[in-house]
Amino acid sequence: MQGLKAELLRGFWYMAMPGADVRPGKLSHVMVMGEPLVIGRAKDNSVFALRDICPHRAIPLHYGKFDGETIECCYHGWRFNQQGACVAIPSLREGQRADLSKITTPAFPCRERQGLIWVYFARDGEAPSGAEAEPPAMPIFADDVAPQLHCMLPFSCSTDHAAFGLMDPTHAAYVHTSWWFKRNARKLRPKEKQFEPAELGWKMVRHQIPPQNLAYKILGRNVSTEISYRLPGLRIEEVRGDRHQVVGLTAITPVTDEQTAVHQIFWLSPKWVAPFKPLMRHLMRVFLDQDRVVVQRQREGLMTSPKVMLINDADTQARWWMRVKDEWEAAARDKRPFVNPLKPMTLRWMS
């Protein structure tokens, strides 16, 4: 069962970083799917991603210089274009030949959408297609609207355990307790929610949020929420009130098969939230850090390779995650389309 490592899924776009972190003329480094990436923004504002290793003597390219067109390696000045092809070797003298067309560092499909940079990891070098032709789009907000809040913490766990935490309805009473949140959390109450299959995963069907829930009052009246979970590790919450809307995305991006970057991102329609951003960012961080600490502790146990359990209905969604993931792999193996294996269901638990 789920140990320290998870199988990494290919054929998906992964959220690499917020677009705001990639400034023109600068190079950013990030590790995704065990692959070191250098991400840059060209003069025309487009973004690109290359393997962050110089094919000459392996120094990461992000230490080099970028003039908006080509990257100059910091070691011997070889230059690479945004497709990863070597276009110049300064040490060559007249008459000395090198076949530059054979010198490349791999390029990855890379797009910016709604202020996030997504990188595609193919199975066999194929171009993104079908449902994954483009990176996922968040509801409500337009393609050029960047999120107002972003927070990322590195988790010492595989994407499976990060995903389980994401869809775990019963840990909050024990993990997310603060004087300002769930102070009497141990008073568990019965919960019942409807779920149905959705694209590449499932969703908790839209339901009203009780009007006494203060945090949601700013959205107006009749506040309702819908939460969807989909491969390769996205939780999208769409909260609508009669005045405002909020979209929350949690993206779990594999750094390696046992390390995960957990991104928490919000798009908010109220324009007046700017002064509250530092406080909101702080609270997001506190919350996410509680999850980070718990998986860090869990790691101590997982190191002994124990058998672990998933129980109904609290862990049913964790089971669904494994089923949807298995189906994704089976469909690719059998060269057939993905068929969602889930059925509509009501889940009940105490939390």
Q: Which residues contribute to the site for ligand FES (CB under 6 A)?
A: 54, 56-57, 59, 73, 75-76, 78
For the window 283-302, what string marks contact with Fe ion as x by the rule CB under 5 A? --------x-----------
Residue whose tokens read 């609207």: 145
57 binds, among ligand FES, Fe ion, none (CB under 5 to 8 A by kind): ligand FES
Minimum distance from CB of 324 to Fe ion (Å)? 20
Q: In the complex with Fe ion, which residue's Cβ is closer, 81 or 351?
A: 351
Q: In the complex with Fe ion, which residue's Cβ is closer, 86 or 261?
A: 261
Compute the distance between CA of residue 32 and CA of residue 198 in angstroms, rounded to an integer: 26
Minimum distance from CB of 45 to Fe ion (Å)? 36
Minimum distance from CB of 87 to ligand FES (Å)? 12
Compute the distance between CA of residue 286 and CA of residue 298 in angstroms, rounded to an integer: 19
Strand 86-88 relative to strand 79-80, pairing: antiparallel
Q: In the complex with ligand FES, which residue's Cβ is closer, 22 or 73?
A: 73
Phi, psi dihedrals of residue 232, rounded to the nearest 5°: -95, 30
* Sheet architecture: strand order including 110-113: 12-18, 116-121, 110-113
Compute the distance between CA of residue 195 and CA of residue 4 in angstroms, rounded to an integer: 29
291 binds, among Fe ion, ligand FES, none (CB under 5 to 8 A by kind): Fe ion
Minimum distance from CB of 166 to Fe ion (Å)? 7
Under the binding rule (CB under 5 A), the answer on residue 262 touching Fe ion is no
Q: In the complex with Fe ion, which residue's Cβ is closer, 269 or 298?
A: 298
Closest listed residue to residue 55, CA positions, set 89, 92, 30: 89
Q: In the complex with ligand FES, which residue's Cβ is closer, 62 or 230?
A: 62
120 binds, among Fe ion, ligand FES, none (CB under 5 to 8 A by kind): none
DSSP string, 293-329: HHHHHHHHHHTT-------TTTTHHHHHHHHHHHHHH
Please report, as ranges, the residues that interact with Fe ion according to CB under 5 A.
291
